Structure 1
Amino acid sequence: MTDLAALADLIRSDTETRGRAISRLGYFCAPFQPLEGPFSDKVIKVYRGAAKPAELTRLAEAHDDYVRVLTECGVTLPETEFHLVDLGGSTRTPVIVQEALPLSSLMRPRMREDSKEETLAMMQAAGEVIASFWTEAQRVKTRVGFHPSIRNFAIRDGRAVFFDTFPPLIHYSREEMGKLLLQFSEKRMMRLVGPMMQKRVTGIQDEWYSPPETLVGLVGSACRLRPEFAEDYLEWGRLFARSHMPRWAEPAIEGLDGPPQLPGYWTGFRKLLGLQGEPNV
């Protein structure tokens, strides 16, 4: 069982004690892994946002449900715990404590460095997770989504491991999720400016709730990371859609007639917020 007092002390400690940031690609937080101590084999993700107690309770319940549904739909996850931690503020803070994966297993850097054949094998592994999730999710009796970005996968023994469980894409309506995207943005600027662009912020999530668009998004990320292999990735995507996602093959293939591009407003948001990601912006 996680020692929440020790976890709170770690989060409040200085940068040297907390350890290195694993990634600065995230919209919600910069995960970190302590170099020593009881959490040295964990990645800590802290989600700061002004939320009422009832909203936090709902968030915790949704996260538990989401992890369960992901697992039931064939998605492999590292060991993942969600806690509401008292950090001394007016409300508790959502924190995810997750089994640390080897940095060498993270899919995004490997996509940038490995051979064409190796990257296609990773695409296949991630694609199989996408296909499994959406096929099984048709039985889920509530709104549920999935964000299978390349940066949200690791590859272990040839299998794709998914590690992004926040926000929990389950139970929330489109409007509610749009507000959640602002409420827990790590960047204060986004929380201040975002409400004036609520419609566009809300639209960020739409791909996550669309089976064909999640596949197209995966291929698009690969094309931006390795443009020299774009035609190979597009061909893989079209073949995969037909063989593994026939129910959604037609719209997926339509989206793969050329290298998919990110919406201009999302690219603009990332640059405005200073989120790293070039060339996979």
Structure 2
Amino acid sequence: MTDLTALAETIESHTGEPVSRLGYFCAPFRPTDGPFADKVIKVYRGLPDGAALDRLARCHDDYADALRRTGVPLPQTEFVLLPRAGGRVPVIVQQALPETALMRPLMQRGTRDETLAMMQAAGEVIATFWNHADRIETRIGFHPSIRNFAIVDGRAVFFDTFPPLIHYSRDEMGRMLLQFSDKRLMRLVGPLIRWRVTAIQDEWYSAPETLVGLVGSACRLRPEFAADYLDWGRDFATRAMPRWADEALAGMQEPPRLPAIWTGFRKLMGLQGEPNV
């Protein structure tokens, strides 16, 4: 169990740079010393609704368990509700992965064969999840973007567990995307276009779209290898995800584009394409 007093002191004293600035929900950081020097800490916005926070904690625990049950490699991850002035805030404490292992920068500088090997590693995690997701008897999703993977000893490790994509209905998850965004502009403007915000999640709950999304991200990162990534994706869908192959193949006839809704929100919120660890 995490020492909540030490965790609160670590968060209060943190003055360094975040590990990543992309985070839609928070800016994760890794302490330079102290009891959490080997951890990444993610602090989220609190809510005035205590019951909603308690439910969030239960859903996160269930989600981490479900990821492991479906074969997704996940670092040691703990979710706590930390007492702070004015209430409790959600905090995730996760075993840190080497920054040199983050998949996105590795994809940016790797050779063709190296990047294809990383795509294969990430694809295997995606296929493993969806091929075993039937054993989870509730609504469950997965967000296996390149920025949410690290490559450790040739194996893809997934590390993004927030929001917990389990149990919540589509409308509830849409509200969460607004409630927990650390972008004030998003919380102000989002309710006016809630149906669009709600639609952001749909890819995460679709097996073929998660694979197409991975291939699309790779094509945008390394357009010189786009044809190779498309060939890999079409072959992988047929071999490893046959139940969804037809839909996946339809989305990989040409380099997949980032949905306009995402490009619009990224510009609105000033988000950049960096690893969200």
What TM-score comes out, normalization by structure 2 length?
0.97
SS of equivalent residue, structure 2 residue 97: coil
Partner of 2:183: 187
Give the residue type in structure 2 aligned to 1:46. Answer: V
Q: Is it true that 1:74 corresponds to 2:79 in the alignment?
A: no
Pairwise CA distance, 1:14: 4.6
**Alignment counterpart, residue 118 of structure 2, candidates 96, 100, 122:** 122
Runs of 4+ in 1 over 6 A off after TM superposition: none
Distance in 2 (alpha carbons) for counterparts of 1:51 and 1:32: 25
Map residues 59-208 of structure 1 onto 2, 5 A cutoff: 59-89=56-86, 91-208=87-204
Conserved 8 A contact 2:142-2:205? yes
Q: What RMSD in Å do the two structures reach over aligned CA positions?
A: 1.0
AA in 2 matched with 1:181? L
Which residue is equivalent to 1:32? 29
CA-to-aligned-CA distance 1:167-208 (integer Å, 9 cap, x gap): 000000000000000000011111111100100000000000
The answer on whether the counterparts of 1:27 and 1:186 sit within 8 Å (CA) in structure 2 is: yes
Q: Does the aligned pair in 2 maintain the 1:49–1:185 contact within 8 Å?
A: no
Q: Secondary structure at the match of 2:78?
A: strand
Question: d(CA) in 2 for partners of 1:272 and 1:50?
Answer: 24
Gaps of 5+ in 1: none
Q: 1:79-127, CA deviations, whole angstroms, 9 ceiling, x for partnerless residues?
A: 10000001212x2000000000000000000000010100000000000
Matched, 1:45 2:42: yes
Contact 1:51 1:183 in 2 (8 A): no
Identical residues among aligned pairs (%): 70
Equivalent residue in structure 2 for 1:236, among 232, 236, 240: 232
Task: Kindly indicate whether residue 54 of structure 2 is the aligned counterpart of residue 57 of structure 1.
Answer: yes
| Contact 2:25–2:181 (CA under 8 A) maintained in structure 1 | yes
* 2:81 counterpart letter in structure 1: L
Count of residue pairs brought into register by the alignment: 274
Residue number in structure 2 paired with 1:3: 3
Equivalent pair of 2:140/2:166 in contact (CA under 8 Å): yes
**Distance in 2, Cα, partners of 1:46 & 1:267:** 25
The offset of 1:265, in angstroms, is: 1.9
Give yes or no for the alignment of 1:246 onto 2:242. yes
Q: Counterpart amino acid of 2:69?
A: E
Q: 2-side partners of 1:219 and 1:28: how far apart?
A: 24
Which of 205, 211, 219 is equivalent to 2:207?
211
Contact 2:14–2:31 (8 Å) recurs in 1: no
* 1:20–1:34 CA contact under 8 A, matched in 2: no
Q: Which runs of 5 or more residues in structure 2 are unaligned?
A: none
